[in-house]
Amino acid sequence: MFTERRLANFSGRAGGVCSVPMLWLVLAALVLVRALPAGAQQEQTRPAQPTFVYLTPDEALQEAFPKAARFRVDTLRLSLEQRRALAKKLRQPELDSLFIVHLAYNAEGHFLGYATIMNEVGKYEPITFVVGVDPRFRVKKVAVMVYRESRGGQVRQPRFLYQFRNKSARDPLQPGRDIINISGATLSVRAISRGVKKALHILSFWYGTHPPQGGRRSEP
């Protein structure tokens, strides 16, 4: 299960209405103090958003491949042509040139699959999640690691993430078609669908022609 770890939530409030004239001024002064830049006030500890870290990178990799004994990090460097071709396929404006993949192996050295950590913007903030993919380029596991939005957190529920299981790059991975949308979390649903699709396309494109050491084996 997920390890829920709430980092911090601190906040102040301002505002209020009073009919007594002098209180207007007092209130205005208080609000002004509140509105001043942080440097002009006494030191405060307050993060911008309630940020929830559910899994650290190590925990996420273990979540994706519980039987893995070791992970090897592979850094893919996509050329401009490769990025353009993938972006066209994914119908996205651009892709990063670097893509980090964790190759999972069990204790006997058998290749179990690929895990990659994605960051996709939901409504305002990036959602960080791990995508585990088996050697046949089918989704094995998706788990949310960090959720920074204030609404739409239902996307981290197993019942939402479960529907990505066994999806491949051939599937549309489109909310409304093969991915069930969550009302009130539409943009988070789309962000995760987009990230999973991107991971599948890049992994199958790269490793389809360059299988990793011990690759093309099913999980024992």
Partner 1 sequence: MRFFQIPGLILTLLCFTLTLVHAQEEGKVHIGGYGSIRYEANDLDNQVNTFTFRRFVMTTYVPITGRLSFLSELELERFRLLELEKKTEGESGVTVEQAVEGTGGSEISLEQAWLQWELSSALRFRAGGILVPLGRFNINHDDNIWMFPRRSLVDRGAPVLPVKSAWDELGMGFNGRFMVGEQAQLSYEMYVVNGMVLDVEVENKYRTRIDEGMKRVAELKFEPFTGSFSSDAKEAKALTGRLALSPTLGTEVGLSGYYGRYTPQYLPAEQVGSVGVDFLINRGSLALEGEYIYTSMGDVRSVASAFAGQVQNQVAEVVLEDPDGPGIEDEIEVALSGLSDSRQGYWLEARYAFSPAFLRGTVLGQEEQPLWYLGARWEQVWYNNLVQEAAFADGALSEFVTSDRQVNRLSLGLTFRPTPLVGFQLAYERTWTADGQSLADVVNFLAAEPDEDVAQAFLFGVTFGF
Among 3, 5, 25, 100, binds partner 1 (CB under 8 A): 25
Which 84-103 residues touch partner 1, going by CB under 8 A?
91-92
Binder among 126, 163, 171, 214 for partner 1 (CB under 8 A): 163
- DSSP H helix total and E strand total for the chain: 5, 7
Residues pairing with 100 in the sheet: 75
Q: Is residue 210 a contact residue for partner 1 (CB under 8 A)?
A: no
Q: x/- contact string, 46-65, with partner 1 (CB under 8 A)?
A: x-xxx---------------
Under the criterion CB under 8 A, does residue 37 sit at the interface with partner 1? yes
Q: Closer to partner 1 at the Cβ: 15 or 220? A: 15
3-state helix, strand, coil in the chain (%, to 5): 35, 25, 45
Q: Given candidates 22, 80, 98, 107, which one binds partner 1 under the rule CB under 8 A? A: 22
The C-alpha atoms of residue 121 and residue 95 are separated, in whole angstroms, by 14
> What dihedral angle (degrees, nearest 10) is formed by the CA atoms of 56, 57, 59, 64?
140
CB of 159 to partner 1, least distance (A): 5
Element (H, E) at 90: helix 80-90
